[in-house]
Amino acid sequence: MRAVDMREPGAPDVLELTEVEVPAPRNHEVLIKVTAAGVNGPDLVQRRGHYPPPEGASPLLGLEVSGEVVGTGSDVTSWKAGDRVTALTNGGGYAEYVSVDATHCLPVPDGVDETDAAGLPEAYFTVWSNVFHNAGIPDGANFLIHGGAGGIGSTAIQLGRAHGLNIFTTVADDAAAHFVTDLGADRAINFKDEDFVEVVRAAGGADIILDIIGGDYIAKNIKAARHDARIIQLAFNAGSKVEINLMPVMLKRLQYTGSTLRSRPDAFKSAIAAELTEKAWPLFQSGKLRPVTHTTLPLADAQKAHELMESATHHGKILLTP
């Protein structure tokens, strides 16, 4: 089969189209013929050599796909050949076929195009597990989302809106501001012209903060947070090493958490998949959620997809199609 591999860690130009063996599904896995694969931040980090795949995982990039089940392991009873699914993978999505844990697959939501569905799993698993899973959220909570125009941000905006939260999000320009307000954000904050701390504190402070930036945003998030707030760190695009005053964390009783999804136990991912199927997927049919695809590129253009991702000029998900 055709797949994207990298010659060595480095810039996007290390990615190249190659041929590898079709993976054989293990007892608990399904084999998916890929319709599309999503491009995500962790793919870029892995390409640079800083996010090695877990033991036993495919060394190929690609953490989410949509497609058709074409084979099943001996222990799989939940899916059969011909089923159309979208799935969280442990790697290997940038290919024509990928093997996936059967319990990490979800049906393509009603009313969602199968190609667009490839951009759902990574963001929805991430946002749901960090923000909504086993979490007590105050009624009418203020939810501050950094990078609202990206894949994680656009997902968080929609899920927050569906749960009745007040959505504040930082953006880089007017086009992104229009994009996020169309998704349901109450307030788009252009970080080049406005101080998000002042905006959010004027509204009473944030109850939940979802951050992919890091750097000087870490101290600012603590200032923007209301008492008993949660600050969730998912990435450090502006750096992870900072000097901050932790006294407000104690005085405000803040919870500061972070996580990576790929290293979580399979059973945890299975539980999140079940929750999403029950609680989030029906919201696509009702129109409260929708996929947000910025562009779809051929698998051979993985380099261009990574360059676009790194430019941070995209709104929504970038997808690759074999």
All residues at 6 or more sequence positions from 55 whose CB lies less than 8 Å from its CB, including other chains: none
Q: Can you say whether the dihedral through the CA atoms of 158, 83, 318, 15 is positive or negative?
A: positive
For the sheet with 206-211, list strands across it: 187-190, 166-171, 142-145, 206-211, 225-233, 255-258
The string over 203-219, giving b where at least 16 C-beta atoms fall within 10 Å of a residue's C-beta and e elsewhere, is eebbbbbbbbbbeebbb
Amino acid at 261: L
Query: Is residue 55's pLDDT more than 90?
Result: no
pLDDT for 209-250, tens place per residue? Answer: 999 999 999 999 999 999 999 999 999 999 999 999 999 999
Rounded average pLDDT over 48-68: 94
At 85, the pLDDT band (50, 70, 90 cuts) reads: very high
* Mean pLDDT taken over the chain: 96
> How many helices (H) and strands (E) would you count in the chain?
11, 15
**Strand 187-190 and strand 166-171: pairing?**
parallel
Q: Are 129 and 234 in contact (CB under 8 A)?
A: no
- Quote the pLDDT of residue 184: 96
Lowest mean pLDDT among 49-53, 85-89, 140-144, 200-204: 49-53
21 φψ region: left (φ > 0), alpha (ψ -120 to 50), beta (else)? beta
At 1, the pLDDT band (50, 70, 90 cuts) reads: very high
* pTM to 2 decimal places: 0.95
Spatial separation of the C-alpha atoms in residues 253 and 259, rounded to whole Å: 20
Look at residue 43 and give its three-state secondary structure.
helix
Rounded average pLDDT over 48-67: 94
Give me the DSSP letters along 263-312: TS-HHHHHHHHHHIIIIITHHHHTTS----EEEEEEGGGHHHHHHHHHHT
- Quote the pLDDT of residue 155: 97
Q: Are 196 and 224 in contact (CB under 8 A)?
A: yes
Q: Are 135 and 166 in contact (CB under 8 A)?
A: no
**Strand 225-233 and strand 187-190: pairing?**
unpaired
Q: Which domains does the chain have, with CATH numbers?
A: 2-120+262-321 (3.90.180.10), 125-258 (3.40.50.720)
Nearest C-alpha neighbor of 221 from the set 136, 259, 238, 92: 238
- Quote the pLDDT of residue 145: 98
pLDDT for 169-180, tens place per residue? Answer: 999 999 999 999
Amino acid at 21: E
151-162 and 174-183 helices, crossing angle to 10° = 40
Rounded average pLDDT over 205-210: 98
Residue with more model confidence, 215 or 51: 215
